[in-house]
Amino acid sequence: MVKVCIMCRSVLLESSLKRILRHHVTTFGECDVVLTDQRITLEKPTLLISTQSDADIKKPFTHSSLMVQLEKFSNRSRLPKELEQRIHEATGEFVKNLSQIIAAYYENK
């Protein structure tokens, strides 16, 4: 499951979210997504909780609807297995080539 940081103006909403998501709450630096009740721009993905029509999570929400939205976010943010495997192979090959270049450099010194 996704790790969340909660940054809400509403103390009641923040407290409720922390209670509901207690096993998923973490610091801003370690989170996958920020749950917020205000529009803010961060270097992390945010999910807006609001009564507005374009909110990611509409108020009022239930425990299950909140978990469904977080699961949807988690699925969107994951790389497909095939792509992940291709990236892993490419980076492995890169590390191998780089190690060979470094080893050859020091052997010639």
What was the pLDDT predicted at 55? Answer: 92
> How far, in Å, CA of 28 to CA of 57, rounded?
20
Q: Looking at the structure, do residues 67 and 87 belong to the same domain, yes or no?
A: no
Q: Looking at the structure, do residues 12 and 51 belong to the same domain, yes or no?
A: yes
Residue 40: phi and psi, rounded to 5, are: -135, 150
What was the pLDDT predicted at 14? Answer: 95
What was the pLDDT predicted at 47? Answer: 93
Q: Looking at the structure, do residues 11 and 55 belong to the same domain, yes or no?
A: yes
**Domain encompassing residue 63:** 4-78
What was the pLDDT predicted at 57? Answer: 93
> How far, in Å, CA of 70 to CA of 75, rounded?
9
Q: Looking at the structure, do residues 18 and 67 belong to the same domain, yes or no?
A: yes
Please check whether residue 44 is in contact with residue 36, taking contact to mean a CB–CB distance below 8 angstroms: no
Residue 69: phi and psi, rounded to 5, are: -65, -40
What was the pLDDT predicted at 31? Answer: 93
pLDDT beneath 50: ranges in the chain: none
Q: Looking at the structure, do residues 22 and 45 belong to the same domain, yes or no?
A: yes
